[in-house]
Amino acid sequence: MQRALRMNDSQLLCLAEKAMQDNCLRGYLQKRTSDQNRWQLRWFMLYQNLFFYYENDQSARPSGVIFLEGSYCERLFTPSTGKNTTGNTSVSTDPSSS
Protein backbone atom coordinates (compact mmCIF):
# COMPACT_ATOMS: atom_id res chain seq x y z
CA MET A 1 0.00 0.00 0.00
CA GLN A 2 1.23 3.46 -0.86
CA ARG A 3 2.23 5.40 2.28
CA ALA A 4 2.70 8.89 0.82
CA LEU A 5 0.76 10.85 -1.72
CA ARG A 6 2.03 14.06 -3.24
CA MET A 7 -0.35 16.55 -4.76
CA ASN A 8 0.12 20.21 -5.40
CA ASP A 9 -2.47 22.93 -4.75
CA SER A 10 -3.54 23.20 -8.38
CA GLN A 11 -4.27 19.45 -8.56
CA LEU A 12 -6.35 19.61 -5.36
CA LEU A 13 -8.23 22.68 -6.60
CA CYS A 14 -8.99 20.90 -9.87
CA LEU A 15 -10.40 17.92 -7.95
CA ALA A 16 -12.38 20.25 -5.64
CA GLU A 17 -13.94 21.96 -8.69
CA LYS A 18 -14.79 18.56 -10.15
CA ALA A 19 -16.44 17.60 -6.85
CA MET A 20 -18.55 20.79 -6.99
CA GLN A 21 -19.76 19.94 -10.50
CA ASP A 22 -20.29 16.26 -9.74
CA ASN A 23 -23.31 14.95 -7.88
CA CYS A 24 -21.28 13.94 -4.82
CA LEU A 25 -22.27 13.67 -1.18
CA ARG A 26 -22.15 17.06 0.54
CA GLY A 27 -23.43 18.83 3.60
CA TYR A 28 -22.59 20.42 6.92
CA LEU A 29 -20.62 18.41 9.49
CA GLN A 30 -18.72 19.28 12.62
CA LYS A 31 -14.92 19.13 12.43
CA ARG A 32 -12.71 18.98 15.49
CA THR A 33 -10.19 21.83 15.67
CA SER A 34 -6.47 21.14 15.65
CA ASP A 35 -6.24 21.69 19.42
CA GLN A 36 -9.11 19.13 19.71
CA ASN A 37 -10.96 21.21 22.30
CA ARG A 38 -13.62 22.67 20.02
CA TRP A 39 -15.84 21.64 17.13
CA GLN A 40 -16.45 23.85 14.08
CA LEU A 41 -19.29 23.62 11.61
CA ARG A 42 -17.86 23.11 8.10
CA TRP A 43 -19.27 22.35 4.64
CA PHE A 44 -17.95 18.98 3.43
CA MET A 45 -17.92 17.29 0.03
CA LEU A 46 -16.97 13.66 -0.48
CA TYR A 47 -15.38 12.99 -3.87
CA GLN A 48 -13.96 9.50 -4.39
CA ASN A 49 -11.54 9.07 -1.47
CA LEU A 50 -11.13 12.82 -0.84
CA PHE A 51 -13.10 14.66 1.84
CA PHE A 52 -12.94 18.40 1.08
CA TYR A 53 -14.03 20.90 3.72
CA TYR A 54 -14.93 24.57 3.36
CA GLU A 55 -15.80 27.47 5.69
CA ASN A 56 -19.39 27.34 4.33
CA ASP A 57 -21.38 26.24 1.28
CA GLN A 58 -20.60 29.52 -0.54
CA SER A 59 -16.80 29.20 -0.27
CA ALA A 60 -14.98 28.91 -3.59
CA ARG A 61 -11.80 27.28 -2.26
CA PRO A 62 -11.55 24.41 0.20
CA SER A 63 -10.04 25.11 3.61
CA GLY A 64 -8.55 21.63 3.58
CA VAL A 65 -8.81 18.06 2.42
CA ILE A 66 -8.76 14.75 4.26
CA PHE A 67 -7.45 11.71 2.40
CA LEU A 68 -9.69 8.79 3.36
CA GLU A 69 -7.45 6.00 2.09
CA GLY A 70 -7.09 3.50 4.94
CA SER A 71 -9.66 5.31 7.12
CA TYR A 72 -12.60 3.89 9.00
CA CYS A 73 -15.72 5.19 10.76
CA GLU A 74 -16.90 4.39 14.24
CA ARG A 75 -19.94 5.46 16.23
CA LEU A 76 -19.30 7.91 19.06
CA PHE A 77 -20.84 7.24 22.44
CA THR A 78 -21.16 10.24 24.74
CA PRO A 79 -22.42 10.49 28.30
CA SER A 80 -26.09 11.34 28.61
CA THR A 81 -26.50 15.10 28.33
CA GLY A 82 -30.20 15.21 27.72
CA LYS A 83 -29.54 15.80 24.02
CA ASN A 84 -30.16 13.38 21.20
CA THR A 85 -26.74 12.03 20.14
CA THR A 86 -28.03 9.50 17.63
CA GLY A 87 -25.93 9.41 14.48
CA ASN A 88 -22.69 10.82 15.91
CA THR A 89 -19.82 9.28 14.01
CA SER A 90 -16.07 9.72 14.11
CA VAL A 91 -13.77 9.29 11.11
CA SER A 92 -10.27 8.17 11.99
CA THR A 93 -7.46 8.52 9.49
CA ASP A 94 -4.95 6.65 11.65
CA PRO A 95 -4.97 3.02 10.51
CA SER A 96 -2.80 1.98 13.47
CA SER A 97 -5.63 2.80 15.90
CA SER A 98 -8.09 0.31 14.37
Per-residue confidence at 58, pLDDT binned at 50, 70, 90?
A: very high
In a domain, 86, yes or no: no
Asked whether the beta carbons of 68 and 42 are under 8 A apart, the reply is: no
Q: Are 85 and 68 in contact (CB under 8 A)?
A: no
> 29 lies in which domain range?
9-70
The Cα 11–Cα 89 span in angstroms is 29
Q: Is residue 80 part of a domain?
A: no
The pTM (predicted TM-score) of the whole model is 0.65
Q: Is residue 3 part of a domain?
A: no
Which pLDDT does position 41 carry in this prediction? 93
Residue 19 resides in a domain: yes
**Structural domain count, the chain:** 1
In the chain, DSSP assigns E strands to: 25-32, 39-47, 50-54, 64-67, 72-75, 89-92
**Closest C-alpha to 49, from 27, 25, 28, 33:** 25
pLDDT of residue 97: 44
The pLDDT assigned to 36 comes to: 78
Position 79 in a domain: no
For residue 98, being part of any structural domain is answered with no
Query: Is residue 92 included in any domain, yes or no?
Result: no
In a domain, 53, yes or no: yes
Whichever domain contains 52, its CATH number is 2.30.29.30
